[in-house]
Amino acid sequence: MAVGSKKMFNAIDRSNSSRRSKETPKDSPRSPRESRMSNIGEMGFDDSTANGADELPSYEYDAKRAAVSFKERLDSVHDGIFSVVLPTSAFSQNWDIVMTFLLTYVAIVTPFDTSFLTPSVDGLFFVNRWMDMMFLYDMILQFNTAFPNEFGELEKSRPRIAQSYLSGWFPIDFISLLPYDLFSVLGEADGPTSSLKGFRVLRVLRLIKMLRLLRANRVLEHFETNKPINYSRMQLYSFIVALLLLIHWLACGWYLVLDLEEAEECIPYYHSSMFPENDPVCCFNWLDCYYGASYSDGLTTARKYMLAVVWSVGQVLTVGSEIHSMTDTERVYEVFTEMLCGLVYAYLLGAICSIFTSMSKQQTMFYEQMDQLNLFLHEKNVDITDPLLCAALRLFYRFAYRTMGSSHAMADILTTISPTLKGQIALALHSK
């Protein structure tokens, strides 16, 4: 079929070339803009085909231009030295990968740094400053990146790009770029201010940097445009990552509540896992009740984080844990997390079941067709009068399912796209 298609396209190309040589004067060369537009537009169907004439659709194209993909032709359009960055360019795709690593760092390190670590000028401080510079560069890049407008065309006008960004993601990006951890370091250096509530508020404000994670939507949109993605698997992986991040975030929040409250009232606790039941333990928070106030002060940061994760896993999986809240603030946080985790657990359970169902869509359609076939044969008594015919029909459906499943899907796709894209797909399939 590929050889026949080549012959058909060659014959059509020769006829169109001879017709153009007769109709177009040689001394009237086309401008570069006309050449570029004809290169894209001539790949659609002829007016004769649109009018219903009994003619094959004609594709007026140059062989060298047909070898260049539509995406590469778009990427070849520049506005000079300081060109607008196209979202389909190789640079944009590589920058999306960089942004993925940066957002992963923010999602993991920022809540841990805010909850468990004391603000200080160390290696992590300079890493965070470098991260701020990278996100600042991304903000500058957004002012120079084209975007699809309401007509489906790439908007490359810098004033319109700036207007779109300023009215969209710019406020969130700007707020998340402020150096809140730098303010915390300055407050820690003052000494007495570290005990004030204002300094604690500054520590909580460091979590505003988590707003950067909203950029993940833009990165995912670019990945969906530039890369082939199996959406069912992507959703499944997204749920797994979201579940792990939820456990991490709740654990960090559980310890942050303990660190910010600094309760001064001793609460006797009679059911410590480390001491006999009849020996009450003086507790100021959940960590003291688990290890004892005299021992919890010497715990390492890693041990504290693991205890918080144990509590968080029990909340997310709705199984509970042996770590309990002791103060009113801890109880409020625990009630909030129980409600949140209940909703998340129910949603994830239904969503994952739906994903596994949709991942076998073709198999489900095949089973439905086989059920309809068996019902039809039974109602017409064909399964009794001619069982060999029934076996032949079932064998045909199985053969069609194994060999023609993707062909049916391709036919459904071709019925929904534009004639120009149909022509480009035909060239891509039969130009070899």
Rg of the chain over all Cα atoms, to the nearest angstrom: 32
- Tokens for 391, please give them: 């076996």
What CA–CA distance (Å, rounded) separates 239 from 233?
10
pTM (2 decimals)? 0.63
pLDDT score of 41: 41
Tell me how many degrees the CA angle 179-184-188 measures, rounded to the nearest 5: 150
What CA–CA distance (Å, rounded) separates 309 from 348?
20
Tens of pLDDT along the chain (432 residues) come to 444 444 444 554 555 555 444 444 444 444 444 444 444 344 333 443 344 434 444 444 444 444 444 444 444 444 444 578 888 788 888 888 899 899 999 999 999 988 888 777 788 889 988 998 999 999 999 998 888 887 767 888 888 999 999 998 899 889 888 877 777 666 655 554 444 455 666 777 788 888 888 888 777 777 766 666 666 777 788 888 989 999 999 999 999 888 887 666 666 665 555 555 556 666 777 777 776 655 666 778 888 899 899 999 998 888 877 787 888 888 899 999 999 988 988 888 888 787 777 666 777 777 788 888 888 888 888 878 888 888 888 888 777 777 665 555 566 666 766 777 777 767 776 765
How do residues 152-197 score in pLDDT, each as one tens digit? 678 888 889 999 999 988 998 898 888 777 776 666 555 544 444 5
Could you give the residue ranges of the DSSP H alpha helices within 167-276? 170-177, 180-189, 197-205, 216-226, 231-261
- Tokens for 69, please give them: 């993909």
Contact 278, 270 (CB under 8 A): yes
Q: Residue 52 region, left (φ>0) first, then alpha (ψ -120 to 50), else beta?
A: left
Q: Domain map of the chain by residue range?
A: 2-67, 90-229, 261-358, 361-430
Tell me how many degrees the CA angle 122-123-126 measures, rounded to the nearest 5: 95
Contact 312, 318 (CB under 8 A): no
Residue (of 37, 148, 40) closest to 86 by Cα position: 148
Tell me how many degrees the CA angle 24-25-31 measures, rounded to the nearest 5: 80
How do residues 85-101 score in pLDDT, each as one tens digit? 888 788 888 888 899 89
